[in-house]
Chain A
Amino acid sequence: RQDVLVLTPWLAPIVWEGTFSRDILNAQYLQKNLVTGVVTFAVEKYWFFIDGFMRSANKYFLAGHQVNFYLFTDSPEKISHLQMAPENHLFVIPVQNCSRWQDISRSRMDIISSYIQSQFQYEVDYLYSLDIDVQLLAHIGVEIIDALVATISSWEVTPRHEGKAYETRPESQAAIPEGRGDFHYTASFYGGSVSEVLRLTRACSEGLREDRESGVETRRHHESHLNKYLLQHKPTRLLSPEYYWDTEL
């Protein structure tokens, strides 16, 4: 690929179709006997997306490898029977409903970090957080597996995006001054090794907590904190916007 940037200035590869051989990567992944987990949330009306998400993820997410899906939901009873691929497992974890959707997104970081410590670190090597309101349309494979992985927001490639969605108010813990920032990352798909994801979710939780205490509400909530963290802790691999395209644009 010569039409796109395939390497960041800190030498992290940017994954685009055509830059990698899935066969070679599969062989490497199998050599190491790894297990990957996916964490996703379906609260309030979002239970509606569970079926579509699970069907497509089951088919396209690391197909052929063991994947543990950790589905946090406040309406476990609404989940219809889902046919899982033989190598995959689904864990439904009930959570409490939050009054405001901003609080739901805030507590996600808390939930993920606490479950990593109490459970996930013993069950998976790599963990990815995906928004439930997505459908996978094509294979997402082991090219995503690396220590700290973020997805470039499709904001980056659409022509008009003058106001980047960074939080710029200095009172917020997520503040990134004008002109700084490498890429804008979406909070809808990020992950990495269990230890790196723990560090990330803890840092974002902390930032969100401090903002809440000072009464600051960031523009894009936990995504702003994610971007701040990734500015200071560079991802080891980036996924191109092919991996998460926000069709609202």
Chain B
Amino acid sequence: RRQDVLTVTPWLAPIVWEGTFDPEILDSAYRPLNLTIGVTAFAVGKYTRFVRRFLESAEQHFMRGYQVNYYIFTDSPQSIPQVQLRPGRRLVTVPIQKYSSWQEISMRRMEAINQHVAQVSHREVQYLFCLDIDMVFHNPWGPETLGDTVAAIHPGYFQVPREQFPYERRSSSAAFIPEGEGDFYYGGAVFGGLVKKVYEFTKTCHMTILADKANGIMAAWQEESHLNRHFLSHKPSKLLSPEYIWEDKKPKPPEIRLIRFSTVNKNYKEVRN
């Protein structure tokens, strides 16, 4: 057990840290359910260069022993490498339109995921995780992460008081969170849950993003701001600690015993063009 960190939220959602769970008990509960876990990731423009490492590391660490469908959303399907996958695991390329700016691409993710769930993945998977592609798995990511609605605590803000969370603070935005409110700052690079729940909240976020667009405003951290607004009013049923959403550049504090999923160091100017 862990006494150095918060392991349950005030609404009784578990916060998943190394040492809080027994992987064997969870495996024995989930394996018999014959689940297929979906993963969405967007590889647009130059971001296709991250696909190989993402997939290879996922094959090593992500939901080992379970059926997995990787849905790679891309504007250049021909650039997606054919990575060797373990049995029971599939790679599906989902063609999407390329938008003019990286912010626009980022914001359209909610819409794209929502549409894809409605058309395809609701039939193929029971749980869906939406992950950033420019990241790599370093350690196991297993069924301890499964839940109705799952959000991850942003690594830059887990030890920071809520006044410093980079929520959208302009009241004209649909993602507005006033001072004094907020539970955690969740990272946009990792979220998920039951496919039905993911459908619902991606739709809500897409709506709030469109509302902002109509008002000529773009939230401080794009869809991450909208995600945070949504999860404030509709609290996640499970939280993942920053072990599941780390930034390689950051020095590792003692609370982080294991880094499971982390950013790849890159030159932002170069890849975002």
Contacts and interface: CB of A to CB of B under 8 A. Distances in A.
Chain A interface secondary structure, helix, strand, loop or mixed? loop
Interface in B10-32: 10-14, 16, 20-22, 25-26, 29
A172 to B, nearest CB: 23
Contact of B29 (A2, A10, A13, A21): A10
B8 A13 contact: yes
Interface string A140-180: 00010010000000000000000000000000000000000
Interface string A6-25: 11011111010001110011
A23 to B, nearest CB: 9
| Chain B, interface residues (CB within 8 Å), range | 10 to 19
Chain B interface secondary structure, helix, strand, loop or mixed? loop
A11 B1 contact: no
Interface string B238-267: 100000000000000000000000000000
A234 B10 contact: no
B124 to A, nearest CB: 25
Nearest to A146: B12
A24 B10 CA distance: 8
Interface centre among B11, B16, B20, B235 (most CB of A within 10 A): B11
B78 interface: no
Contacts of B20: 7, 9, 11
B21 A9 contact: yes
Interface in B65-91: none
Given A10-B21, A11-B16, A11-B144, A25 B7 contact: no
A2 B7 CA distance: 10
A58 B238 CA distance: 32
A5 interface: yes
Interface string B41-81: 00000000000000000000000000000000000000000
Contacts of B144: 11
A25 B26 CA distance: 26
B25 to A, nearest CB: 5
Contacts of A12: 14
Contacts of B25: 9-10, 234
Given A2-B3, A10-B22, A20 B16 contact: no
A24 B11 contact: yes
B8 to A, nearest CB: 5
A222 interface: no
Interface centre among A2, A9, A10, A12 (most CB of B within 10 A): A10
A21 B10 contact: yes
A28 interface: yes
Interface centre among A6, A19, A25, A143 (most CB of B within 10 A): A6
Contact of A9 (B10, B22, B238): B22
Given A25-B12, A143-B12, A234-B25, A6 B235 contact: no
Interface of B: 1, 3, 7-8, 10-14, 16, 20-22, 25-26, 29, 144, 235, 238
30 contacts: A2-B3, A5-B1, A6-B7, A6-B8, A7-B1, A7-B7, A9-B20, A9-B22, A9-B25, A10-B26, A11-B20, A11-B21, A11-B26, A11-B144, A11-B238, A13-B8, A13-B12, A13-B13, A13-B14, A15-B12, A19-B8, A21-B10, A21-B11, A25-B12, A28-B11, A28-B235, A143-B12, A234-B25, A234-B29, A237-B12
Of all A-B residue pairs in the complex, the 10 with the closest CB atoms, nearest first, are: A9-B22, A21-B10, A11-B14, A13-B12, A24-B11, A10-B25, A13-B8, A7-B7, A6-B8, A2-B3
